Each structure stands twice: as structure tokens, then as C-alpha cells.
């Protein structure tokens, strides 16, 4: 056993709380093979009062608000905690789907056309369709786990969906018809590609976290050159967005075989159905091995900071 302990922070205040709690329990069980682990359940936007930066490394399994948005990362940095995952700046960038896409597009990676608007005061559905086409994906600007995402296959349905959006920032995105993939990136290196095949509808929150609702193929079966393109794009995204330790990156491929970046998840779920675990398994990692890989860079930073 190591002479430090791991503090796993789960729960939180976002709509992804239940997923966070499940991830926290899974990570705690996996890390206990090698470390002393304390599991904390957060119920407010504050750090637990009994954390100790001199003895504990933090592992976050939080999502959405006060999880992936950079706020808890900022608190941890201000109190000199070593923690696993992206730092404040990368987290703050990547939670914003539009700003992330702008940065990624500048690197030459394809992204879907989009339209950002604020409710109330949204444009007419006809204006959105004129810019993006008749099939449109509607996303909240700063949420994860497909919370609040919907797909409108025509202008009439889009208008009905937009009428339900009373407040907030919304990203309207051209729907790419094709196949959906996800790839984990571990310390800058892409892992296995996972193809996502919802059994009906699209890969929404329910399909993500209900066993049997989605089929997964991993490693994905696709052309070698396209697989290489997606993996290298994921590694490029990791670098240009200033990420560290681990992320998960999602892509679509069009029917003509072109890949499109969708978004980054800086704190991917780690439940039994989660994509990062599937991506890592393509390289032969079981979950305890993966958990060790995920926390190791933070442990190294912990010791490095105390040697200085």
C-alpha cells in the first residue's frame, strides 16, 4: 500500500449526480487494490472539510456543473491539492462546446456547422434550417452525458423543440448522418475506438446509462486509415485544448467516410457501461489497471510538489 490515500469525490449538484455516485463507487473499489481510499459524497459547491492536501490525492468522478466546468478544479488548485484529470483552464474550456469546437476547427479537424443562440430570443426555426439543413441536433452549451440533447429531423419538429427552450445557451448543430465513435485518450495517446449503436433513437442519457439500450463494438470495425485519422485527431484535441491525464473524445463519421469531432469529456463516466472503460479494454486494461493509470500522474505530481 502507498503512504498516501486517494480521496474520491462523487455526487455533486448537477443532473448527472446519479452517474457520478455510481462512478465514485466503482473507482473506489478498483483503487482499493493498491491504495487507502476515502469516498466522499458532495451535496454542495464546496470541498469536504476533512480533506488533507498533505496526505491525499484527489480523484474526481463529478460531472457537469461543479465537476467538469473548472470550478472545483480552481478550488483544489487554490488549496494546493494534487488531483487527477484536466486542470482548471482545460476544464473551463472543454465544458463549452462552442469554444472547444472553434479551437479544434482551427487545427484543421472537421466539425459540424453550428449556430449558437440564447433563450429567450431564439431565432425562428426557418433561420436555423436555412443555415444547417433540415436535420438538427439541439444541445445545451455546457452540459454532459447528453443531458438536454434532442434531435429534430425537420423544421416543424425543430420549431416545437425550440418553443420548449425557455432559458439558457443552446447550440444548434448540423446532424452528421453516419456512425458514432468514442475514443479514450490516456496521457496524450489514443486508446481503442468504440462504436456506439443505440438500439432505437439516438445516444441520449437513457441509452448511455441503461444496460441493454445500446450495442457497443470495441475495438470498432472500420477502415485502418479512418481509424488512424480518428485516433490522431483525438490526440491532437488533447494537446491543443491543454488537457492532461485522460479525456474521452467523441466523433461522427459521415456516410462518405469523413470524420467529424463532436466534443470532449474531461471527466468521463466510469460506470460499468461507460465508454472510457471499453476504450481502455481494447488495450487489455481491466478496470483496476485503468484506475491505476488514471490516478498515477496525479500521484507523481503530489510527490514532485513535495520534493520542491
Do the beta carbons of residue 281 and residue 220 sit within 8 Å?
Answer: no
- The catalytically annotated residue of 209, 218, 260, 285 is 209
Active site residue 54: no
Torsion of CA 185, 191, 192, 197, to 10 degrees: -10
Give the integer Cα–Cα distance in Å for 234 and 238: 6
Active site residue 44: no
Active site residue 242: no
Active site residue 216: no
- The catalytically annotated residue of 23, 145, 146, 182 is 145
- The catalytically annotated residue of 265, 274, 279, 281 is 265
- The catalytically annotated residue of 11, 248, 259, 277 is 248
**Dihedral (CA of 48, 52, 55, 60) sign:** positive
- The catalytically annotated residue of 11, 12, 16, 195 is 16
- The catalytically annotated residue of 144, 269, 279, 281 is 269
Active site residue 69: no
Do the beta carbons of residue 242 and residue 154 sit within 8 Å?
Answer: no
Active site residue 209: yes
Active site residue 301: no
The values of phi and psi at residue 246, to 5°, are: -160, 150
- The catalytically annotated residue of 69, 114, 227, 263 is 263
Nearby residues of 233 by Cβ (< 8 Å), 6 or more positions away: 109, 249, 251, 259, 261
For 49-143, strand residue ranges (E) read 56-60, 114-119, 136-140
Active site residue 180: no
- The catalytically annotated residue of 150, 180, 250, 274 is 250
The values of phi and psi at residue 5, to 5°, are: -120, 160
The values of phi and psi at residue 305, to 5°, are: -70, -30
Instruction: Give the residue numbers annotated as catalytic, written as ranges.
Output: 16, 145, 209, 248, 250, 263, 265, 269
Amino acid at each position: 500500500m502507498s503512504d498516501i490515500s486517494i480521496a474520491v469525490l462523487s455526487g455533486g449538484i448537477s443532473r448527472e449526480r446519479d452517474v457520478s455516485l455510481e462512478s465514485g463507487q466503482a473507482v473506489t473499489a478498483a483503487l482499493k487494490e493498491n491504495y487507502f481510499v476515502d469516498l466522499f459524497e458532495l451535496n454542495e459547491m464546496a470541498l469536504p472539510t476533512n480533506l488533507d492536501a498533505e496526505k491525499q490525492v484527489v480523484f474526481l468522478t463529478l460531472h457537469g456543473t461543479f465537476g467538469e466546468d473548472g470550478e472545483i478544479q480552481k478550488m483544489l488548485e487554490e488549496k494546493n491539492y494534487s488531483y487527477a484529470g484536466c486542470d482548471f483552464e482545460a476544464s473551463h474550456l472543454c465544458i463549452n462546446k462552442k469554444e472547444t469546437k472553434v479551437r479544434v476547427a482551427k487545427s484543421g479537424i472537421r466539425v459540424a456547422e453550428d449556430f449558437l443562440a440564447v433563450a429567450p430570443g431564439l431565432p425562428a426555426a426557418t433561420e436555423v434550417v436555412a443555415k444547417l439543413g433540415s436535420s438538427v441536433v439541439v444541445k445545451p452549451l455546457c452540459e454532459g452525458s447528453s443531458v438536454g440533447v434532442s434531435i429534430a429531423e425537420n423544421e416543424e419538429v425543430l420549431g416545437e423543440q425550440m418553443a420548449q427552450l425557455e432559458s439558457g445557451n443552446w447550440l444548434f448543430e448540423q446532424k452528421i448522418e453516419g456512425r458514432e465513435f468514442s475514443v479514450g485518450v490516456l496521457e496524450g495517446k489514443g486508446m481503442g475506438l468504440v462504436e456506439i449503436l443505440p438500439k432505437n433513437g439516438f445516444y441520449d442519457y437513457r441509452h448511455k446509462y441503461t444496460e441493454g439500450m445500446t450495442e457497443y463494438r470495441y475495438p470498432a470495425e472500420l477502415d485502418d486509415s479512418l481509424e488512424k485519422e480518428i485516433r490522431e485527431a483525438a490526440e491532437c484535441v488533447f494537446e491543443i485544448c491543454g488537457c492532461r491525464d485522460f479525456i474521452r473524445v467523441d466523433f461522427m463519421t459521415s456516410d462518405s467516410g469523413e470524420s467529424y469531432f463532436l466534443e470532449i469529456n474531461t471527466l468521463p463516466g466510469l460506470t460499468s457501461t461507460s465508454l472510457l472503460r471499453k476504450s481502455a479494454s481494447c488495450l487489455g486494461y481491466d478496470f483496476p489497471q485503468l484506475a491505476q493509470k488514471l490516478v498515477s500522474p496525479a500521484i507523481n505530481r503530489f510527490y514532485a510538489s513535495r520534493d520542491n
